[in-house]
Amino acid sequence: MSPWLAGFIALLQGSTELFPVSSLGHAVVVPNLLRLDFRPTDDSFVPFLVLLHLGTATALLILYREEWKRIIAGFLRAAVRGRIQDPDERMALLIVAGTIPTGVVGFFLEKPLKSLFGNPRAAGAFLIVNAAILLGAELLRRRSERAAHVEADAGMDREAAFRTVETLDWRSALLVGACQTLALLPGISRAGVTMAGGLVAGLRHEESARFSFLLATPIILAAGVLEVPQLFQSGVPIGTYLAASVLAGVVAYMSARFLIRYFRVGRLDPFAAYCAALGIITLAFAR
């Protein structure tokens, strides 16, 4: 892989990982549409993806560093005590509960799902499904807003009628976490399905995004760390890959900052439209 191509894929991955548009779907679809000499099914792709993911996870850890310090300390306290006594401990266990389904399912279905990486048409179809999930979640949210007599265009006031992550119940956290398993399919966005799950559970948009980013960190980090030994295979251009990882991390950090600001009043609709359009283009033009 040339440094330019590595840089392009890093930009693509870093910018799409946290947006609700499926980074994996983009990694499958975009090189095919642009006729680039890059195949996600190649063995060399795995160590590359590992470092890109580590870059993204590091960006999220830096962005939420204070929160993660409290969450980790809260998890240790609650685990030893066997009882939850403060919101940080509760948040820690909500994240654990939300991570388990994807961790286990992803681990055992990793190989069969990888066969889909080479199929851009399948990724295109899943992008359309992703668009439907995002639109469906927003339709349900608008119905809830009407039921709560909230003005749909009232911005921050509209959002104030809904919940924060700290008030999320266990069943909802598990539901949102289970949604992440869908994102193992290229084209289904992990951020998208968790945000959609969060909206259905009654979270504010900004809180859905925050919970999605917090849920993403352990999964992305674990997936990256478990594959680290692959980086030490002979022939891996570690310098190029490390530079790409830093680039992906910087772009992911900027994306996360943008999304947190956007979701204070923004909705998932534009991302749904984008996914639907890209899915249709892929089905029409992919080779």
Which chain residues interact with another protein by CB under 8 A? 79-85, 90, 96, 100, 103-104, 107-108, 111, 226
- What is the rounded CA–CA span in Å between residue 229 and residue 27? 22
Judge contact between 115 and 121, C-beta under 8 A: no
- What is the rounded CA–CA span in Å between residue 117 and residue 22? 13
- Rounded to the nearest whole angstrom, what is the least distance from the CB of residue 187 to another protein in the complex? 23
Residue 44 or 230 having the CB closest to another protein: 230
Judge contact between 232 and 191, C-beta under 8 A: no
DSSP per-residue letters across 44-59 = THHHHHHHHHHHHHHH
Question: What sign does the CA torsion over 53, 59, 65, 71 have?
Answer: negative
Residue 79 or 160 having the CB closest to another protein: 79
Alpha-carbon distances of 116 from 50, 132, 181, rounded to whole Å: 18, 20, 15
Residue 19 or 117 having the CB closest to another protein: 117
- Rounded to the nearest whole angstrom, what is the least distance from the CB of residue 84 to another protein in the complex? 6
- Rounded to the nearest whole angstrom, what is the least distance from the CB of residue 117 to another protein in the complex? 15
Cα–Cα–Cα angle for 275, 278, 281, nearest 5°? 150
Residue 139 or 225 having the CB closest to another protein: 225
- Rounded to the nearest whole angstrom, what is the least distance from the CB of residue 87 to another protein in the complex? 9
- Rounded to the nearest whole angstrom, what is the least distance from the CB of residue 73 to another protein in the complex? 15
The three-class DSSP label of residue 177 is helix
Residue 170 or 285 having the CB closest to another protein: 170
Residue 36 or 100 having the CB closest to another protein: 100
- Rounded to the nearest whole angstrom, what is the least distance from the CB of residue 181 to another protein in the complex? 15
